[in-house]
Amino acid sequence: MFGLKLDMACEIPDKYYSLEDYEKAEPRWCPGCGDHSVLTNIQKLCREKQLDPAKTVFVSGIGCSSRFPHYMKTYGFHGLHGRAFPVASGIKFRRPDLDVFVITGDGDCCSIGAGAWVHAIRYNINMTVMLFNNEIYGLTKNQTSPTSRVGTKSNTSPRGSILPPINPLQTTLGVANVSFVAQTVDWNPAHLYATLNAAHEHKGFSFVHIVQRCPVFQPDLVDEFTSGKDAFHLIKNENGIVLDEKAEKTFKNSVEHDHTDINAARHLAEHENGKFYLGLLYQNKEAQCYDDYGAHNLGFTAEQKMSVLNEELDKRAI
């Protein structure tokens, strides 16, 4: 075949990123923590998408999960408690060319960061958000979190929590301009990866609720989750999060769901009778993205910016 003329040729990339290009430091999470699984799948996602580490940013607040940026060989920002969303929004607003990921926990997001969380949903800025929910404060060693179930015993509720928990899915689905809401678990890598992949491909605020294990402070809950095959139902939709046949067989139950129906999504989010529905609950590709408004003057020189500013000020001169 030597000398044969071909009408096509393989494009060889200038740089191919391997897993090692995204791996940094030794994760200091407890053995068996669900954070390890998410980290592994995110590094795999970055490799499969060939995301440039120099144009990828991980932003977090405070908590066990918020150590995440330390373990990614990309840009990262380990921010203040509950303030991951404002930081990430500012980054994406002025640098739309970057891939922005937000890492937050049930305390970081649903307690001190709740106000920022609600408005970030409404702004619908293009970023991938992962809420790690193990229903306990782990970093500060076993305090009741906003998502802890009634009866959860902790250092702050030794007789058991008496308040009903916040449902992160219901909260997100209740905010105007919501555009993407999905739920997955850390111990099913195929479903976790497929969910993160769909979230990254969505243009807008992609909210992924990750039901997560904490073997140190919630060992009973871990056993309930991982052995309770009746509780977890796979959401099936050919236009949603699709698994191959082998991965589908890991689920005992499934349900058909139209992910454009927000009322149906809210029903699935209720966790009625202890059921968890895994997959894409809701997606609205037409929701407005606030970062689109911030991109119109990108690339302006300092002189152009000053000219526009002076023009606006001259309109108000007396």
What are 25-41's pLDDT values in tens digits?
Answer: 999 999 999 999 999 99
The residue-averaged pLDDT of 306-311 equals 90
Containing structural domain, residue 211: 25-314
Q: Is residue 270 part of a domain?
A: yes
Residue 1 banded pLDDT, cuts 50, 70, 90: very low
**Among candidate residues 106, 98, 262, the one with its CA nearest the CA of residue 175:** 262
What residues contact 31, with CB distance under 8 A and at least 6 apart? 215
- In whole angstroms, give the CA distance from residue 167 to residue 76: 28
Say if residues 129 and 104 touch (Cβ distance below 8 Å). yes
Q: Is residue 1 part of a domain?
A: no
Question: Above pLDDT 70, what percent of the chain?
Answer: 96
The dihedral built from the CA positions of residue 224, 229, 231 and 236, taken in this order, carries a sign that is positive
Predicted confidence (pLDDT) at residue 114 exceeds the cutoff of 60: yes
| Mean pLDDT, the chain, whole residue set | 93
> 């108000």: which residue's tokens?
316
Q: Is residue 296 part of a domain?
A: yes
Q: Is residue 271 part of a domain?
A: yes
Domain count, the chain: 1
Q: Is residue 17 part of a domain?
A: no
Q: Provide the edge-to-edge strand list for the sheet that holds 56-60.
A: 75-78, 56-60, 99-105, 127-133, 205-211, 180-185, 276-283, 232-236, 253-256
Q: Is the pTM of this model over 0.85?
A: yes
Q: What CATH number does residue 29 fall under?
A: 3.40.50.970
Q: Is residue 13 part of a domain?
A: no
Instruction: Tell me if residue 229 falls in helix, strand or coil.
Output: coil
Q: Is residue 178 part of a domain?
A: yes
